[in-house]
Chains A and B, each alone.
Chain A
């Protein structure tokens, strides 16, 4: 039996017409997870008590004919780097194997206040560091489209859960591409808003100046609905911005005719898989047929983005991850002295990629190397951001491939960290600049692997990104 493909509007209609109750829907999703998760490994923890309590209160609202909140009864999954009160949150790491947060992230409490049903926590690369979800301490996630391949990363579990129909929407986090790239590799839309659009309160930090929370769903419309709920100023995160949040769903159908779409030459160079190139170029032609005006652009600092990113992000990570010392929470490995305990706890608690990045970041911040690496990278970051600001003086949006290749095979890139880092080549630029971006499906390779097209817009122009992606999805018929 094929699972029903629910969306946020179809759930709302079914609940209101009493075709299904929120409890029944929740049971159905847990049954799907029980059936599919053993092969996919998308979920690390389930929260049935919390889910059924929420479903019960939604059903009571329906019985009393009360107006339903925007995400009433929508089953969602949360990446395991986002704190959930009373639900184990490991960050895909042994060092937090038994960690149960005493509070909820703001994004999670906003989703629940909007009626969403929290199914559980999704697998990811350890502390969100990776592009394949193979760096999870709890075994990799498999791509539901092709089980011998990775789902992308680091939010691989969140992408796989939605692509496999085990959740209607999910939250991921994006630091260098960790929402957009798994969205592309699993064939679903996936979005990050402007840096600061969504509160990071309760997001366990990797690189604070880059980290963003954002949604996966099976349609752009559902992405818009979830983004609208989680966006907005939060006094608990001083970097969250007080810019008003438009009704993204309301603005979704605005015409895109006449929009100027920048095609930066630097994103179409060597190293791209030929069928990815073909699908994205076809995608641009489709946008043109919808009335968009393609504009060739130069973004001259694009080629420096990976080097910049892997200094800035690792430097911030080395500082943020200093908190895992075995004193207050998480793993403690006993030692003869306090320092010995720190070193043993961290040496055994962290996996290879996390240690590699802590080492790189510590080196980049160390006395004698700070100016040559960290300061230099911060300056190049400013140049990369300037490329975007200048581009948006000429165009309304920028269109690029999301990832240079479709989903690769498990184990294919694990021996060479630098090669894995290059999987982020088209996504890190927007991360460094802080602009909003989406990956939207734009077809499949001859082997049947999904290809994603990335759309950026200027700061706080999330609506424009969503309008383009929605029109593209409607015209192209690439929705799952």
Chain B
């Protein structure tokens, strides 16, 4: 077993996902078989290899060395953005109470 049901419950907590008992069973089984497959990466010795996080890492010509100038630009999207919110209270997004007083 690569992953236990308890670990799956913990991962769902971290990911902010409410899962049913059936989903927990299904994902326990499926994640276990996917992680078993991924094990094959350990066949490779990578101790001398630098991890690749991006295609162009900054030392080639292709890299955009151009940090753009920090200029302020007009933006009037606030009302359009609030318009598509589930529970707008301009200029805020309303959410369930977080702090008890």
Q: Which residues of A are found within 8 Å of B41, using beta-carbon distances? A: 304, 307-308, 311, 376-377, 380
> Do residues A99 and B84 form an inter-chain contact, with CB atoms below 8 A?
yes
> Do residues A242 and B19 form an inter-chain contact, with CB atoms below 8 A?
no
Q: Which residues of B are found within 8 Å of A363, using beta-carbon distances? A: 3, 7, 11, 31, 35
> Do residues B34 and A310 form an inter-chain contact, with CB atoms below 8 A?
yes
A392: Cβ under 8 A from any B Cβ? no
CA distance A19 to B35 in the complex (A): 59
> Do residues A343 and B17 form an inter-chain contact, with CB atoms below 8 A?
yes
Give the number of residue pairs across the A-B interface with Cβ within 8 Å: 171
A425: Cβ under 8 A from any B Cβ? no
Q: Given A338-B98, A460-B62, are A329 and B12 also a contact pair (CB < 8 Å)?
A: no
**Segment of A233-241, A264-272, A285-293 in the binding face:** A233-241
Q: Which residues of A are found within 8 Å of B62, using beta-carbon distances? A: 194, 196, 241, 243, 459-460
> Do residues B53 and A378 form an inter-chain contact, with CB atoms below 8 A?
yes
CA distance A242 to B86 in the complex (A): 38
> Do residues B27 and A209 form an inter-chain contact, with CB atoms below 8 A?
no
Kindly provide the distance from the CB of A208 to the nearest chain B CB, expressed in whole angstroms.
9
> Do residues A359 and B17 form an inter-chain contact, with CB atoms below 8 A?
yes
A301: Cβ under 8 A from any B Cβ? yes
Q: Which residues of B are found within 8 Å of A383, using beta-carbon distances? A: 44, 46, 49
CA distance A310 to B64 in the complex (A): 28
Indicate which residue in A99, A195, A209, A459 contacts B53 across the interface (CB closer than 8 Å): A209
B72: Cβ under 8 A from any A Cβ? no
- Which of B12, B19, B55, B87 neighbours the largest number of chain A CB atoms within 10 Å of its CB? B55
Kindly provide the distance from the CB of A302 to the nearest chain B CB, expressed in whole angstroms.
12
> Do residues A195 and B55 form an inter-chain contact, with CB atoms below 8 A?
yes
Q: Which residue of A lies closest to B87 (CB)?
A: A332
Chain B, 45-83, contact with A by CB distance < 8 Å: what is the 0/1 string? 010011111111000011110101000000001001101
Kindly provide the distance from the CB of B53 to the nearest chain A CB, expressed in whole angstroms.
6
Kindly provide the distance from the CB of A234 to the nearest chain B CB, expressed in whole angstroms.
10
> Do residues B19 and A366 form an inter-chain contact, with CB atoms below 8 A?
no
Total B residues in contact with A, Cβ cutoff 8 Å: 54
Q: Which residues of B are found within 8 Å of A358, using beta-carbon distances? A: 15, 17
Interface residues of A in 328-370 (CB under 8 A from B): 328-332, 334-344, 346-348, 350, 352, 355-356, 358-360, 362-363, 366
Q: Given A304-B40, A328-B85, A358-B15, are A209 and B54 also a contact pair (CB < 8 Å)?
A: yes
> Do residues B84 and A100 form an inter-chain contact, with CB atoms below 8 A?
yes
Indicate which residue in B17, B46, B54, B98 contacts A376 across the interface (CB closer than 8 Å): B46
> Do residues B55 and A359 form an inter-chain contact, with CB atoms below 8 A?
no
B18: Cβ under 8 A from any A Cβ? yes
Q: Which residue of A lies closest to B28 (CB)?
A: A359
> Do residues B8 and A359 form an inter-chain contact, with CB atoms below 8 A?
yes
Q: Which residues of A are found within 8 Å of B86, using beta-carbon distances? A: 326-327, 329-332
Q: Which residue of B lies closest to A459 (CB)?
A: B62
Q: Which residues of A are found within 8 Å of B49, using beta-carbon distances? A: 379-380, 382-383
Q: Which residues of A are found within 8 Å of B81, using beta-carbon distances? A: 102, 328-329
Q: Which residues of A are found within 8 Å of B91, using beta-carbon distances? A: none
Q: Given A304-B44, A346-B18, are A238 and B11 also a contact pair (CB < 8 Å)?
A: no
B95: Cβ under 8 A from any A Cβ? yes
Kindly provide the distance from the CB of A413 to the nearest chain B CB, expressed in whole angstroms.
13
CA distance A327 to B37 in the complex (A): 37
Q: Which residues of B are found within 8 Å of A306, using beta-carbon distances? A: 37
B90: Cβ under 8 A from any A Cβ? no
Q: Which residues of B are found within 8 Å of A350, using beta-carbon distances? A: 17
Q: Given A328-B93, A336-B96, are A380 and B44 also a contact pair (CB < 8 Å)?
A: yes
CA distance A241 to B55 in the complex (A): 11
Interface residues of A in 435-469 (CB under 8 A from B): 459-460
Kindly provide the distance from the CB of A351 to the nearest chain B CB, expressed in whole angstroms.
11
Q: Which residues of A are found within 8 Å of B30, using beta-carbon distances? A: 356, 417-418
> Do residues A102 and B84 form an inter-chain contact, with CB atoms below 8 A?
yes
Known: A243-B61, A337-B97, A460-B62. 6 other contacts (CB 8 A): A102-B77, A196-B55, A239-B64, A242-B66, A307-B41, A418-B34
- Mind listing 29 A-B residue pairs with CB under 8 Å? A99-B84, A102-B77, A102-B80, A194-B55, A195-B55, A195-B56, A196-B64, A238-B64, A304-B40, A328-B93, A329-B81, A329-B86, A331-B86, A336-B96, A337-B96, A338-B97, A352-B23, A352-B26, A355-B27, A356-B27, A359-B12, A362-B11, A363-B7, A363-B35, A382-B51, A385-B55, A418-B30, A434-B55, A434-B56
Interface residues of A (CB under 8 A from B): 99-100, 102-103, 194-196, 209, 233, 235, 238-243, 301, 303-304, 306-308, 310-311, 318, 322, 325-332, 334-344, 346-348, 350, 352, 355-356, 358-360, 362-363, 366, 373, 375-383, 385, 417-418, 421, 433-434, 459-460
> Which are the 8 A-B pairs with shortest beta-carbon distances?
A434-B55, A347-B18, A378-B51, A332-B86, A382-B52, A379-B46, A102-B80, A343-B18
